[in-house]
Structure formats: C-alpha cells, structure tokens
C-alpha cells in the first residue's frame, strides 16, 4: 500500500463507524486502511504478581486480535487492510504510528456519544502531523 488511512479501533460501535467512513474515503481515493488497536501497558507490581506478566500479555494480544478482526470484517474486503497492535498510551501511540509513514490521514470517532470530543481525540488533534477526520456520533 502506498497511501494509507489510519483508523484506531477499540471495541466500541463508534470506532466501527469510523471504519465505515474510512472505507468510503479509501474507495474514492484508492488508498488502503490500517487498523490500529492500542493496548495499555500494565506496570503495576500487583497485577504482575497476582496475574502474571505472560498471562496479561496473552490476554491483551487475544483482546486486540478480536477487536481488529471485528473491525476488519466491517471493511467487507472492499479495500486493502493492514492490522496492527501497539502498546502504550492511545493518543501517543496513534500519533507515533502516523509519523514518517505513508499515513495520509486519521479517522477517529469519540467513544462517548454525548461528548463532542473525547480526551484521546482531543490529544490526537493537538499532536497529529497528518490530517484528522473526526466522525460525529
């Protein structure tokens, strides 16, 4: 893929709406789509000692895989799709993923429908080096 739209996804219906909009834009422009799921790092000693690092990592990988699969199915195979998981703070990881690559834009949907912008959307708008499209929900 030469030119790509980045679509961060979690398990919300709002993010799937952003996938739909990105597919429409990609079809019109000939771009591909990269679906990105950001899993938080868990550094607490309690979580690591009670659950175990490997068990936590496996759980987060499995959760991310399910989220990405659901989002990829939403594209209905109409455009080329790449799926990726990153670990860390969502807004930071989204902006880092968009740097220095073929990413030409980010499609975001705030998670909470009653808010105009969620905290992650707001931070991405502040830090992004590429255009950001916010999908109203």
Q: Would you call 71 helix, strand, or coil by DSSP?
A: helix
Low-confidence ranges of the chain (pLDDT < 70): 1, 43-44, 46-48, 100, 113-115
pLDDT for res 86: 95
pTM over 0.85: yes
Q: Tell me how far apart the 2 most distant CA atoms of the chain are, in Å.
A: 50
Give me the chain's average pLDDT, please. Answer: 89
Residue 44, pLDDT score = 67
Q: What is residue 62's predicted lDDT score, i.e. its pLDDT?
A: 95
| Euclidean distance between CA atoms 58 and 63, whole angstroms | 9
Q: What is the pLDDT of residue 84?
A: 97
**What is the predicted pLDDT for the residue at 54?**
81
């Amino acid at each position: 893929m030469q030119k790509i739209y980045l679509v961060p996804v979690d398990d919300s219906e709002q993010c799937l709406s952003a996938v739909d909009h990105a597919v429409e834009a990609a079809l019109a422009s000939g771009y591909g789509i990269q679906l990105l799921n950001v899993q938080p790092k868990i550094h607490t000693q309690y979580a690591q000692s009670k659950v175990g690092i490997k068990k936590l990592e496996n759980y987060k990988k499995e959760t991310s895989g399910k989220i990405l699969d659901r989002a990829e199915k939403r594209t209905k195979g109409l455009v080329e799709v790449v799926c990726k998981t990153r670990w860390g703070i969502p807004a930071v990881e989204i902006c880092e993923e968009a740097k220095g690559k073929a990413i030409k834009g980010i499609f975001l949907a705030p998670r909470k429908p009653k808010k105009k912008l969620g905290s992650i959307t707001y931070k991405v708008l502040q830090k992004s080096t590429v255009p950001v499209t916010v999908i109203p929900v």
